[in-house]
Chain A
């Protein structure tokens, strides 16, 4: 069935550096959502992308939906310790939201 692959699985970042995590699908997605889960916490909605080529920004976070609506990316600039956690992309199909495996981010101070 349809699924998304998130890469990398783990991202170790030096504080202040930028990084990007990717979410790739083999099929066209109607929309993509991103969630963040802090260590010991629960997933929290960050953003939804719907349109082909859409780009949305939240402070240091930039989310992009590919032109073919098969991939998405999350770029974080000037990483801070508050960015620690697991970032999930999720897609809607068959009345449910299915999640990628997540990218777990750790930050070196």
Chain B
């Protein structure tokens, strides 16, 4: 059983397009995240939701809009894609926001903007 699943795994799109990445976790966790990993493998948190409520927004451009319809799902919509948005986007979840919680990552969505 896949714990954190995200789709699509690969996405190639043109500049200016709008795209969405979907994420679901079946671990019963309260907290979900989106991380961005650039070409140098640096992992940076973008957003965090706890029980459907946004708790962290790390100065991500407004073109990125997360949506959490319920605590098992956290989708990411990106408007007006730019070349610099090319990266791997990881969805993740943890039991709660408590310090020391393990984070479980999805397999990643490879976004290439051309």
- A-facing mask of B73-114, CB < 8 A → 1, else 0? 000000000000000001000100101111111111000000
By the criterion CB–CB under 8 Å, are A42 and B90 in contact? yes
By the criterion CB–CB under 8 Å, are B99 and A99 in contact? no
Total CB contacts across the A-B interface at under 8 A = 57
A43 to B41, CA, bound (A): 11
Which residues from chain A contact B107 at a C-beta distance below 8 Å? 41-42
CB-CB under 8 A for A31 and B100, given A41-B107, A96-B45:
yes
Q: A interface, by DSSP: helix, strand, loop or mixed?
A: strand
Query: Which of B94, B97, B99 contacts A31 (CB under 8 A)?
Result: B99
Can you name the residue of chain B whose Cβ is closest to the Cβ of A103? B41
Interface size class on chain A is 20 to 34
Query: Which of B33, B100, B108 contacts A48 (CB under 8 A)?
Result: B100
B55 an interface residue at 8 Å Cβ cutoff?
A: yes
Which residues from chain B contact A99 at a C-beta distance below 8 Å? 42-44
**B59 CB, nearest partner CB in chain A, Å:** 12
Query: Which of A50, A86, A95 contacts B48 (CB under 8 A)?
Result: A95
By the criterion CB–CB under 8 Å, are A30 and B45 in contact? no
A97 an interface residue at 8 Å Cβ cutoff?
A: yes
Which residues from chain A contact B104 at a C-beta distance below 8 Å? 45
Which residues from chain B contact A86 at a C-beta distance below 8 Å? 41
9 smallest A-B Cβ distances: which pairs? A92-B99, A99-B43, A42-B105, A95-B97, A45-B102, A31-B100, A43-B105, A42-B107, A42-B108
**Interface, chain A (partner B; CB < 8 A):** 30-31, 33, 37, 41-45, 48, 50, 86, 88, 90, 92-99, 101-102, 104
A43-B43, A48-B102, A95-B97 are known; give 18 further A-B pairs, CB within 8 A: A31-B99, A33-B100, A33-B102, A41-B108, A42-B90, A43-B90, A43-B105, A44-B105, A86-B41, A92-B99, A95-B55, A96-B33, A96-B45, A96-B48, A97-B94, A101-B42, A102-B42, A104-B41
